Structure formats: structure tokens, C-alpha cells
């Protein structure tokens, strides 16, 4: 079953750049995107994918935001055989696509398609995966995608000795069992997965059963406030007009989100945040994706709830990202898109798209996801990211992030630099997951012959 697409997406995906064209273009410019060229509007304004892939400013920061778009993810994304049975074709295709553009998932001494010295995840990292578990059905993050992501972390080529921790603050409504009754009228388990029983808890307790994989629901500490020098009690600290959690994981790692990992005498920075939101409609913000999912880590009990609903939305998102802890990677889950409901229910308010969109610039990601995935589903004006109601908070977020130095922590693998809303400053690299799978199968057959 192919992903449902709008005609604009079909046009964009069909338009490929030949190798000869790339060779000619590379002689004229410093670098060129080697993937697809997308249409920017129905009026055929073409995105600037023929611009250099990465023009480097004097400070060494990119002048363009790279986005990675995976389409046609198979409905059944896992292998049936036990070796690699937790590998998700969409996640595999995404990491391969990123690696081809020198955004390596693994920080490793061994150079490979997915690894290198400037990679994102080191073998001793504590990796927090922020999911949406405030809702269930298709209103929560697809746990099949999360399963594939966890598997890839555990397969670090240097041997993974850290910990993967699923986190969420459902603001008193969260449940890793995907059984919340809030807004649903029932307490049934209904994960956003091919198997409805495959909740986040099921992943931790049944799929992996690994001491390196755990979860921590922040709802239980959302009303507890701790001092800066408290490294024992689990709770929240206030910072400006936001807040962030401090807690000890199942494996004994003391996570203090803004500062790092407390080791008894100081902080280490082997703490990585991966943000995995589900793309959907939101009644107040009109869309929720990378920015708002990171914002969801804070505690609404910190006294600033009125401000962030919604005049201070963009500023709040930005502060959580640039001044607390920026994700080294955002993966927008667009397997199922809830275009007409926040809850992801009833089914008629959702559409299967079988897509993933990833990158390090959350502003560019949210803009592009709204314009080319969410908005084309129903054509609703309120999903167009160029309307003032959305543009204002995206611009607010960009202003605060860039005003505080942008997203530039190269020692931690974060190299986005400035965040951007303008399409002319985005480079979109794309791959077809079904085609990727077929190529892998053909390569295996050839290697045996």
C-alpha cells in the first residue's frame, strides 16, 4: 500500500535530477543536493534545491537548513526474520539518507554510511527520546517508528554502553501504556502502531527487555520544584519563564536536562535529546510538530501557562530548545497524520501518509511539514503556515533561537546554526523507502550469487 499523497507531492517526488545534471551543476556551484527537486507552490515556484548543498559562512555555519523526507514507507515496516526484526524500513531509509548527506547518526571512530567522528550519538550517551504520549490512537507518536529508532541506537558500531529513555510530560494525562481515558471515554490500550497493543511500555518491557532501555513519565514530578544544588530528588527547576525536569533514570543516570548528566562532582554532556512528534492539527496553534513537542517537556504548573497559550507560544518553544536542551535530531512522524483532531480519533479525522521528515532546524521542519504534508490533505486554510496565526509564532521562535546564538553545538553533533522559515533557505533531500527496501534486497541477492 502506497502513502496517500496530494498531486503537489506527486510532482515533487517525480522530479529527479540526473547524474549528468548534477555533474554540470557541481562545476558551477560548490555543492548540490543529490536528491529530489520539490515544487514550492501549485503555481510551480521551484524550491532552490539547485543551490549549494552547504554554503559555509566564515564562521563555519551552514547558510541553509537541510531537511530529510522519506516517502512510501511500507505498511508492514519490519522484517519477519529475527535478525533485524526491530529495524523499521522508514527509519533505516531516513538514517541512510542522512548519512549520504554527511549527517551521521553514530559518533564513531569507524567511518561508514551511518557513522563518523562528527556523528550524533556516541556509544556512552544517555539518549532521551521525547514522544507524544499525552494521547492515544493516532494522536500519540507511532511506536513502530520509536521501536526502529531504539534498535538503531542499540546497534551502535562501537557497542552501546549508555541508556535510551523514553520521556513525556502529559501534564497529568500522559500514559506510556497508551490507555489514557482523557477525551476518549475509555481506558483501552490503543497504541499508534500496526499492533494496537504495542504501546511504549510494551516496547520497553516486552520487545526490548534490555536494561539499557527504559522510560520516565514526567507527569509524576510536574508539581515538585527543586533547587539548583539538589541532585537527589526528582523534580522540576524553573528557568526564566519555562521549566525543565531533573530525574534519575532506571539505570541510575542523573539527568538534569539543562545542565547535563550529574556525575557527583560536575556535569558531563553525554546527554542527547531526540524529538519524535506526531504531525497533527492543534486547536490553538493550528499544528503541532517539532517545536511544540519539545515545549511539552516543561511543567504547566510553573505559573506561565496563560502566557504560552498562545501569545507566548513561539517564545516558549524557542527557550525550551535553545536555552534548555536542543534536540540533536527531530523526526516528525507522519505515518498517520491527524488533520482534523488533536486526539487522533475518530479514524475519519486521520489520514495515512507513510512518511517521515527529519532535521535539526525545528522551525524549518514545522513550516515544511505544514505546507507539504498537513495542508494538502484537506486544503484547510488554517493549516497553511503562511497565514498570520501560524507565521507569527514560527517567527517568534526563530527570533529567540537566532537571537541566542542559534543551534550550534558541534561537540554534541548539533550544526543547524540559524533556524529558518523561508523556503529559499531550505534544502530538502528525499528518498522512497519502498525503493530503498528493494535496492537492499537486490544487493543481498547479488552478494549471494
Domain ranges of the chain: 7-448
Whole-Å CA distances, 149 to 96, 333, 437: 13, 12, 17
First to last CA, the chain: 30
Distance, in Å, from the CA atom of 365 to the CA atom of 314, rounded to the nearest integer, reads 14
Distance, in Å, from the CA atom of 356 to the CA atom of 185, rounded to the nearest integer, reads 30
For 316, list phi and psi in degrees, rounded to 5.
Answer: -65, -45
Distance, in Å, from the CA atom of 132 to the CA atom of 127, rounded to the nearest integer, reads 16
Question: How much of the chain is in helix, strand and coil states, percent to nearest 5?
Answer: 30, 20, 45
Which residues lie below 8 Å from residue 330, measured CB to CB, with a gap of 6+?
Answer: 274, 275, 276, 277, 290, 294, 358, 359, 360, 362, 365
Neighbours of 130 (CB within 10 A): 24
Neighbours of 307 (CB within 10 A): 13
- Going residue by residue through the chain, which has 449 residues, state the pLDDT in tens, using 9 for 90 and above: 344 444 344 444 333 333 334 334 333 333 333 333 333 333 333 344 434 444 434 357 899 999 999 999 999 999 876 667 999 999 999 999 999 999 999 999 999 999 999 999 999 999 999 999 999 999 999 999 999 999 999 999 999 999 999 999 999 999 999 999 989 999 999 999 999 999 999 999 999 999 999 999 999 999 999 999 999 999 999 999 999 999 999 999 999 999 999 999 999 999 999 999 999 999 999 999 999 999 999 999 999 999 999 999 999 999 999 999 999 999 999 999 999 999 999 999 999 999 999 999 999 999 999 999 999 999 999 999 999 999 999 999 999 999 999 999 999 999 999 999 999 999 999 999 999 999 998 887 766 65
Cell of 76: 508492514
Reported pTM: 0.87
Distance, in Å, from the CA atom of 415 to the CA atom of 417, rounded to the nearest integer, reads 6
Amino acid at each position: 500500500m502506497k502513502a496517500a499523497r496530494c498531486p503537489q507531492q506527486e510532482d515533487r517526488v517525480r522530479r529527479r535530477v540526473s547524474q549528468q545534471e548534477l555533474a554540470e551543476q557541481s562545476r558551477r556551484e560548490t555543492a548540490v543536493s543529490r536528491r529530489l527537486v520539490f515544487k514550492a507552490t501549485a503555481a510551480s515556484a521551484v524550491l532552490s534545491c539547485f543551490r549549494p548543498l552547504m554554503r559555509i559562512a566564515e564562521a563555519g555555519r551552514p547558510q541553509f537548513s537541510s531537511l530529510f523526507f522519506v516517502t512510501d514507507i511500507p505498511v508492514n515496516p519490519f522484517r519477519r526474520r529475527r535478525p533485524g526484526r526491530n529495524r523499521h524500513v522508514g527509519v533505516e531509509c531516513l538514517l541512510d539518507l542522512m548519512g549520504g548527506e554527511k549527517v551521521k547518526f553514530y559518533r564513531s571512530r569507524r567511518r561508514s554510511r551511518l557513522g563518523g567522528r562528527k556523528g550524533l550519538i556516541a556509544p556512552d550517551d544517555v539518549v532521551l527520546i521525547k514522544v507524544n504520549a499525552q494521547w492515544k490512537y493516532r494522536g500519540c507518536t507511532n511506536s513502530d517508528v520509536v521501536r526502529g529508532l531504539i534498535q538503531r541506537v542499540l546497534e551502535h558500531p562501537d557497542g552501546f554502553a549508555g541508556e535510551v529513555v523514553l520521556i513525556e510530560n502529559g501534564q497529568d494525562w500522559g500514559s506510556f501504556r497508551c490507555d489514557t481515558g482523557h477525551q476518549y471515554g475509555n481506558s483501552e490500550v490503543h497504541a499508534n502502531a500496526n499492533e494496537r497493543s504495542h504501546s511504549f511500555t510494551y516496547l520497553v518491557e516486552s520487545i526490548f527487555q534490555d536494561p539499557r532501555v527504559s522510560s520516565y513519565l514526567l507527569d509524576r514530578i510536574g508539581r515538585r520544584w527543586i533547587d539548583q544544588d539538589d541532585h537527589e530528588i526528582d523534580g522540576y527547576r524553573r528557568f526564566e519563564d519555562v521549566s525543565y525536569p531533573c530525574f534519575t533514570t532506571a539505570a541510575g543516570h542523573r539527568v538534569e536536562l539543562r545542565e547535563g548528566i550529574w556525575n557527583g562532582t560536575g556535569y558531563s554532556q553525554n546527554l542527547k535529546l531526540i524529538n519524535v512528534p506526531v504531525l497533527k492539527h492543534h486547536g490553538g496553534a493550528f499544528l503541532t510538530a517539532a517545536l511544540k513537542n519539545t515545549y511539552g517537556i516543561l511543567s504547566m504548573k510553573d505559573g506561565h501557562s496563560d502566557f504560552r497559550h498562545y501569545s507566548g507560544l513561539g517564545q516558549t518553544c524557542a527557550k525550551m530548545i535553545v536555552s534548555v536542551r536542543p534536540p540533536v535530531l527531530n523526526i516528525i512522524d507522519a505515518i498517520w497524520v491527524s488533520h482534523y483532531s488533536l486526539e487522533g480519533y475518530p479514524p475519519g479525522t486521520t489520514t495515512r501518509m507513510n512518511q517521515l521528515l527529519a532535521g535539526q532546524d525545528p522551525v524549518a521542519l514545522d513550516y515544511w511539514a505544514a505546507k507539504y504534508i498537513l495542508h494538502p490533505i484537506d486544503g484547510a486554510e488554517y493549516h497553511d503556515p503562511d497565514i498570520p496565526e501560524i507565521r507569527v509564532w514560527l517567527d517568534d521562535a526563530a527570533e529567540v533561537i537566532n537571537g541566542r546564538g542559534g543551534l550550534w553545538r558541534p561537540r554534541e553533533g548539533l550544526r543547524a546554526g540559524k533556524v529558518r522559515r523561508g523556503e529559499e533557505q531550505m534544502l530538502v533531500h528525499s528518498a522512497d523507502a519502498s525503493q530503498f527496501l528493494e535496492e537492499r534486497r537486490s544487493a543481498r541477492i547479488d552478494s549471494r550469487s
